[in-house]
Amino acid sequence: MPEPVPLIRERPASAVSQEITLPISFRALAIEQAGEAVSMQRKSIMALHEDDVLIRIDYASINKMDPGLARVNVFNFPLPYVLGFDFSGEVVGLGAQCQEAFKVGDEVLGRSLTGSCFAEYVVAKRENIVHRGAVPAPEASTYGVAYLTAYESLVMTGGIEQHRGKWIYVAGAAGGVGHFAAQIAKLHGLKVVGSAGKAASLNLLKELELDHVIDYSKQDVVQEVMNLTGGKGADLVYDSTYTQSSYAQSAVVVARGGEYIRLGTEAQVARAGANDVQSVVEGRGARMVISDLGRYARDPLYQVQTAKLTDGLKQAVSWYESGHLKPAITATVPFDAAALQQAFGDFLKGTNNVGKVVVRCA
């Protein structure tokens, strides 16, 4: 292991605090080639652009796209690549334009659009980072993707405010995205019915104190939602499951004049075999809303709205502090290649995807 040296010797004086001592290199859990197992590698501390913040990572969370991207490098990340798209940690270096917003030693949470969070250090853009306040480090690492996806869907793109006091059906309400969606709906005054299949998922839904829980593996989802809503259907339906079997049920329980929020691009949803959802929803006289966090990274029309996502992250901290939003962490993976590989495999099998699974990077 190389001796730590003051980073300032390696960087322009404007870019990094004079007080921090950092290693020249750090450990990262990388994919050498798509489809190969995770391996521990050393990376060099990166040079900072003016809007960059260097973070020493405490925790990063696993999102469904991580095991997917480990198998197929659809974003063409340069090899070898490090996954992990959200984190909590401590600010250890600042680009010249970041010094008003943050200082060295600040405890923050955030996201990286280019991955690299299953590592000891990451460089993230100032606009994608917020102070974590009273949120503990493990919980804080879960907001950058799963929570933000639910927030973007319901608060920014969907019209959750207009459904106050009405029913929402959250398909997959114990998943990473779903358990945030259910809580956001509750704190906007909606009555929440959520579904899950695994025993551990159903236990989490009990803990979340939803108004009604459906075990989709044993119960008839359509019948349950219809009974609950007096045959009218749910005014708001949120389906982040990417499964054809769920789409087939969720599309037919949306109420006339209601809203159906579907997550993901046309291509992603088509891969799940669900091209017909839109026509079913519209045939029921409801509005189809398509939500996709990824478009804020790739579409200039959405990129200019990034500040609204950052406000969403600040809102998460405030909701946590007021006791209204609690990420459910169901497992913590050590900073070890075999352990992360195992967690990826379990995610793809669907055995560990209850609430959030985090990686302890510190």
Ligand X SMILES: NC(=O)c1ccc[n+]([C@@H]2O[C@H](COP(=O)([O-])OP(=O)(O)OC[C@H]3O[C@@H](n4cnc5c(N)ncnc54)[C@H](OP(=O)(O)O)[C@@H]3O)[C@@H](O)[C@H]2O)c1
From 127-135, 142-150, 300-308, 323-331, span contacting ligand X (CB under 6 A): 142-150
Please report whether residue 309 would count as binding ligand X according to CB under 6 A. no
Please report how many Cα atoms fall inside a 13 Å half-sphere around the Cα of residue 342, on the Cβ side: 10
Asked if 310 contacts 337 with a C-beta cutoff of 8 angstroms, the reply is: no
Beta strands in the chain (DSSP E): 5-6, 21-22, 25-31, 38-44, 52-62, 81-82, 86-94, 107-111, 121-125, 129-131, 167-171, 191-196, 212-215, 234-239, 254-263, 287-291, 329-333, 356-360
Shortest Å distance, C-beta 215 to ligand X: 9
Integer CA distances (angstroms), 76 to 118, 212, 266, in order? 18, 42, 20
Using the minimum distance from each CB to ligand X, give the nearer residue, 27 or 179. 179
- Pick left, alpha or beta for residue 130 (phi over 0 → left; psi -120 to 50 → alpha; otherwise beta): beta
Shortest Å distance, C-beta 49 to ligand X: 26
Shortest Å distance, C-beta 269 to ligand X: 9
Shortest Å distance, C-beta 207 to ligand X: 14
Please report whether residue 263 would count as binding ligand X according to CB under 6 A. yes
Integer CA distances (angstroms), 207 to 27, 179, 212, 320, 326, in order? 37, 11, 12, 16, 11
Binding mask 47-76 for ligand X (x = CB under 6 A): ----------------xxx-----------
Using the minimum distance from each CB to ligand X, give the nearer residue, 22 or 184. 184
Peptide bond into 80 cis (omega under 30): yes
When binding is defined by CB under 6 A, the residue of 94, 146, 185, 313 that contacts ligand X is 146
101 Cα distance to chain centroid: 24
When binding is defined by CB under 6 A, the residue of 246, 310, 330, 341 that contacts ligand X is 246
Please report whether residue 197 would count as binding ligand X according to CB under 6 A. yes
Helix (H/G/I), strand (E/B), else coil: 317: helix
From 89-97, 185-193, 240-248, 281-289, span contacting ligand X (CB under 6 A): 240-248
Q: Which residue has the tokens 């709906």?
A: 185
When binding is defined by CB under 6 A, the residue of 73, 97, 245, 315 that contacts ligand X is 245
Please report whether residue 195 would count as binding ligand X according to CB under 6 A. yes
Please report whether residue 264 would count as binding ligand X according to CB under 6 A. yes
Helix (H/G/I), strand (E/B), else coil: 21: strand
Using the minimum distance from each CB to ligand X, give the nearer residue, 196 or 261. 196
Q: Give the containing element (helix H, strand E) for 201.
A: helix 199-207
Please report whether residue 112 would count as binding ligand X according to CB under 6 A. no
- In 3D, which of 82, 86, 94 has the Cα closest to residue 44? 82
Q: Which residue has the tokens 């960059």?
A: 52
Please report whether residue 25 would count as binding ligand X according to CB under 6 A. no
Identify residue 94 by its one-letter amino acid code: L
Binding mask 163-192 for ligand X (x = CB under 6 A): --------xx-xxxxx--------------
Please report whether residue 243 would count as binding ligand X according to CB under 6 A. yes
Using the minimum distance from each CB to ligand X, give the nearer residue, 53 or 174. 174
Using the minimum distance from each CB to ligand X, give the nearer residue, 121 or 247. 247
> 215 forms bridges with which residues in the sheet?
196
Subset of residues 271 to 300 that bind ligand X, contact rule: CB under 6 A? 292-294
Asked if 255 contacts 232 with a C-beta cutoff of 8 angstroms, the reply is: yes
Please report whether residue 201 would count as binding ligand X according to CB under 6 A. yes
Shortest Å distance, C-beta 7 to ligand X: 34
Query: How many residues of this chain bind ligand X (CB under 6 A)?
Result: 32
Select the residue whose beta carbon is closest to ligand X and give its number: 175
Q: Which residue has the tokens 């955030």?
A: 110
Please report whether residue 313 would count as binding ligand X according to CB under 6 A. no
Please report whether residue 198 would count as binding ligand X according to CB under 6 A. yes
Q: Could you count the other beta carbons within 10 Å of the beta carbon of residue 288?
A: 16
Q: Which residues bind ligand X (CB under 6 A)?
A: 63-65, 145-146, 149, 171-172, 174-178, 195-198, 201, 216, 240-243, 245-246, 263-264, 292-294, 350, 353
